[in-house]
């Protein structure tokens, strides 16, 4: 872990009209709507659709572990708020964004539970939005706050998995 004094204000940082978990819930609603209204090709039949619980549970465990690591390091979990510590161990040694990875895993799980092709299109939209509107801002803040320590971390740990 690398500690630093965070910038005093984040008021100039762009803000999303929603937080990543809210975006994930919106995506789930869209996926369910597509799954029932326009399912398209059926990819998975019941009872195999229950396999969708595996990425949901694993993603949830990944997110809970990441949250606990942030709490132990006493740094923020909130997007657009400056981190006081660069957490790079535990699940953060596997993924630079374990919480967003867990949300994407949850969407994969929902897609499997629905078993239809059409909900799958929502997953890359979610990943793109998170990457472009949240991760890009966070990475810029981390590079500014932690400098070479963050740049070195980026070269050793993948963004997703």
Nearest to 4 by CA among 154, 139, 100, 148: 148
**What is the CB-side half-sphere exposure of residue 69 using CA atoms within 13 A?**
21
Structural contact between residues 80 and 150, judged by C-beta atoms closer than 8 angstroms: no
**Residue 80 has what pLDDT?**
84
Q: Domain-by-domain residue ranges, the chain?
A: 51-161
First vs last Cα of the chain: how many Å apart? 20
Taking only the tens place, the pLDDT of each residue in 3-55 is 544 444 444 545 545 699 999 999 999 999 999 999 889 999 999 999 999 99
**Residue 15 has what pLDDT?**
53
pTM score, two decimals? Answer: 0.87
**Residue 6 has what pLDDT?**
46
**Residue 2 has what pLDDT?**
53
Taking only the tens place, the pLDDT of each residue in 84-132 is 999 999 999 999 999 999 999 999 999 999 999 999 999 999 999 999 9
Structural contact between residues 118 and 44, judged by C-beta atoms closer than 8 angstroms: no
C-alpha to C-alpha distance for 44 and 110, rounded to whole angstroms: 12
**Residue 114 has what pLDDT?**
97
**Residue 9 has what pLDDT?**
42
Taking only the tens place, the pLDDT of each residue in 63-83 is 999 999 999 999 999 888 899
């Amino acid at each position: 872990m690398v500690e630093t004094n965070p910038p005093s204000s984040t008021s100039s940082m762009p803000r999303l009209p929603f937080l990543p978990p809210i975006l994930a819930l919106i995506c789930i609603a869209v996926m369910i709507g597509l799954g029932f209204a326009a399912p398209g090709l059926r990819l998975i039949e019941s009872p195999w659709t229950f396999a969708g619980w595996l990425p949901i549970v694993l993603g949830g465990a990944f997110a809970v572990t990441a949250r606990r690591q942030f709490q132990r390091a006493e740094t923020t979990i909130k997007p657009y708020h400056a981190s006081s510590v660069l957490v790079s161990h535990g699940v953060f040694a596997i993924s630079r964004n374990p919480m967003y990875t867990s949300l994407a895993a949850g969407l994969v799980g929902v897609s499997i539970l629905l078993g239809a092709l059409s909900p799958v299109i929502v997953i890359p939209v979610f990943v793109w939005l998170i990457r472009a509107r949240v991760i890009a801002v966070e990475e810029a803040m981390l590079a500014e706050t932690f400098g070479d320590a963050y740049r070195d971390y980026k070269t050793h740990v993948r963004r997703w998995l």
